A and B are shown apart, each in its own frame.
Chain A
């Protein structure tokens, strides 16, 4: 296998790109709530931007673009190239389901923010709370999988 044909998950930079993207998505996501100023986080030198709602909003979108791009890239590669050799584990499916929910609710909230788009108030509240609940589930499942050393993929021959 030549170097250029390597799967994205085998690229040396992938785990760093994924980690940094998830970190900033969660950080700027929590920044949508007025908590960083109240709890002195924004007072820490270099973190003042966390209290600027338009900056955290813009950065959340920016990292969402990267996250959704690499998620779609990985899934397409999985379907086209490696699903015969490896399969997604149960914990992998669980995390993919959570990520799918996060992307779906996040996308609806992005659409809601366009001028001229208006969803029923109850629906928006459900979307906001679901997005928040799913990110907490993502953090919790990620922690459990890290502790129990659960992988996303496993070899079909095993």
Chain B
């Protein structure tokens, strides 16, 4: 059964066929198979930088965007930064609480020729997302289909998710969220926002808005193992390069580029709200290796004490002494 869906195939055959596809294939692509994570393949060579995906994202997610109350509560101490994007909602050249997807541009050289490339950037939706796993209150969560999302109703805006994200994706808006009802001056600072890969559309059997709106079929969505196979086939056919398969232990966003990602990374504008294409080690792995020791520790402690008791009992029997 074909489960990978792109915009062209989604629309192919007219509305009836599309509806039929939506009713049959998309739920499978959306992770109807339990435990299977969904991934997207982004073919950078196809992207023309038209920003149709950016517009579709903003339109689709407008209801999820923050509506902050002003003036903001005075926060202590004074060093606590106010992050206010409410007057800059039309910014589209970086990630903001109102712009969860943007187009990054690169000029690179391939075979002696200048190549202009563009690519959509957003949350990578890691297989083991540190933003979800290290959120101190459980406000960030990972859905069964691999989507990581932040629950804006309980996020306190502490920005830890951004600090631990290898790509620094989540963005904060002050003056919104549950912290206003708790200790607004002393704890919390708003809500963190990022791409939730249109989880609600996927739950309804639709594909994410950015994928549907793309006129060039840059993105494809499907079960991760199939997307990985497709990425390798594409990379082999085009002598391309893959990013996202192993970064941070593996992500659910797989880029295929006609040039090495080191070259892309040198060319793109990086900084606040503009993620890199660096190689990323699994940031959770060191602690998780120690986590195995946490699980073994009670048995090791009990065994050590029991071993000592056994040795002590034997020696007591041997010399006939009492404790």
Query: B-contacting residues of A (Cβ < 8 Å)?
Result: 1, 5, 8, 32-35, 38-40, 53-54, 57-58, 61-62, 64-66, 68-77, 80-81, 103, 106-107, 110-116, 118, 121, 124-125, 127-129
Contact = CB atoms under 8 A, between A and B. Distances in A.
A73 to B, nearest CB: 4
Nearest to A8: B305
B301 A73 contact: yes
A153 to B, nearest CB: 16
A109 B158 CA distance: 20
Given A107-B294, A111-B295, 8 more contacts: A33-B160, A34-B136, A34-B158, A68-B298, A81-B323, A115-B284, A124-B138, A125-B137
B294 A61 contact: yes
B16 interface: no
A40 to B, nearest CB: 7
A80 B164 CA distance: 45
Contacts of B187: 35
A112 B133 CA distance: 7
Interface in B131-151: 133-134, 136-138, 141-142, 144, 151
Given A39-B77, A65-B297, A124-B141, A57 B305 contact: no
Mostly helix, strand, loop or mixed at chain A's interface? helix
Contact of B164 (A53, A106, A125): A53
A1 B323 contact: yes
A61 B142 contact: no
A38 B179 CA distance: 15
Given A32-B134, A38-B77, A125-B138, A72 B291 contact: no
A81 B134 contact: no
15 contacts: A5-B312, A33-B136, A34-B160, A38-B79, A54-B286, A69-B297, A72-B297, A74-B305, A76-B301, A76-B305, A81-B309, A113-B284, A114-B288, A115-B284, A118-B144
Interface residues of B, number: 46
B302 A73 contact: yes
Given A5-B323, A107-B294, A58 B304 contact: no
Contact of B301 (A38, A58, A71, A112): A71
Nearest to A60: B287
A76 B310 CA distance: 12
B15 interface: no
